[in-house]
Structure 1
Amino acid sequence: MSKFSIPVEAALKVIGGKWKVVILCHLFKDKYRTSELKRRMPNVSQKMLVQQLRELEQDGVIRRVLYHQAPPKVEYELTDYGRSLKSTMNVLCDWGEQHLQNEHLKNSF
Structure 2
Amino acid sequence: MSEHRIYSTAFAKVYPMYVQKAERKGRTQAEVDQVIQWLTGYDAAGLQRVLDEGWDFRRFFADAPALNPNAPLITGVVCGIRVEDIEDPLMQKLRWLDKLVDELAKGKAMEKILRR
Q: TM-score, normalised by structure 2?
A: 0.28
The higher relative CO (CA closer than 8 Å, separation ≥ 6) is in: 2
Q: TM-score, normalised by structure 1?
A: 0.29
Larger radius of gyration: 1
